[in-house]
Amino acid sequence: MVSYIILTGCWCDDIVLNVHAPSEEKRDDSKDSFYGELEQVFENFPMYLMKILFEDFNAKVGRENIFELTIGNESLHQDNNDNGAGIVNFAKSKNLVVKSTMFPHWNIHKFAWTSPDGKTHNHIAHILIDRRWHLSILDVQSFRGADCDTDHFLVVAEVRERLAVSKQAAQKIDEDRVNRRELEVRKQYQIEILDRISAVEDLSGRKEINRAWENVKKSIKTSAKVSLGVHKLQRHKPCFD
């Protein structure tokens, strides 16, 4: 099972994938089918985008020295199982690194599954990322206190990445923008504003200055809307991939 979401970043888009691999006792053809589907999904993404895999690979990744650049040496297990070999081969073929086995933590913050008798602990949930972006993940560890109604523990990654914010969302749009593109209505606007300004009552004194300014401002805006009209902004539909 493979699902993903695309987040718009400041420098490049971020693709976050969530996958669930077959368990160790499953048949080889089901495992091959899973990695084939995952590789097909990867081929549809541009190479320069940052891809992060949050996954339950059901894989025990060891601490083999020959794969240290890909898996580090902080895994809970000493050797790979069959699923562990599959995740290492996939990471090397796609230039990924397994960040979940690269941070030094106590063993209780490494394993993601415990047997019902509490004697067996497995480090089988992993997080992968492109090698060129691997410094964006600052830490990975499991939290035993989270109540998720499952026999697995919650695995949390600390990611450093800046997402893009649209300018329309950051700035308030003026709804009443006067249409100043039609030059032939300039004289009509001048006549309209003179009539309205002349009708404004004469106010004097410091206490009445705010009231006078409100009357003048209202006359200017009303004259502009009547004679020039309001320019309608072209709005784009909000989208989220």
Residue range 55-92, pLDDT digits in tens: 777 888 999 889 999 999 999 999 898 888 989 999 99
Whether pLDDT at 172 is above 60: no
Q: Over range 191-202, report the average pLDDT.
A: 74
41 vs 144, more confident = 41
Q: What is the pLDDT of residue 173?
A: 46
**214-236: per-residue pLDDT in tens?**
888 888 888 777 777 766 666 66
In which band, very low, low, confident or very high, does the pLDDT at 181 lie, cut at 50, 70 and 90?
low
Please tell me whether the overall predicted TM-score, pTM, comes out greater than 0.75 for this model: no
In the 8-state DSSP scheme, what is residue 231?
P
Q: Which domains does the chain have, with CATH numbers?
A: 2-159 (3.60.10.10), 172-227 (no CATH)
Neighbour-count burial for 66-79, b at 16+ CB within 10 Å, e otherwise:
ebeebbbeebbbee
Nearest Cα neighbor of 135 from 91, 103, 112 is: 103
**Segment 133-144, tens digit of pLDDT:** 999 999 999 987
Residue 21's Cβ-count burial label (10 Å; 0-12, 13-18, 19+) is buried
Query: Residue 201 — very low, low, confident or very high, per pLDDT cuts 50/70/90?
Result: low
Torsion angle in degrees (nearest 10) through CA of 219, 221, 225, 229: 140
Q: Is the CB of residue 187 less than 8 Å from the CB of residue 230?
A: no
121-122 vs 113-114, strand pairing mode: antiparallel
Give the pLDDT mean for 195-222.
73
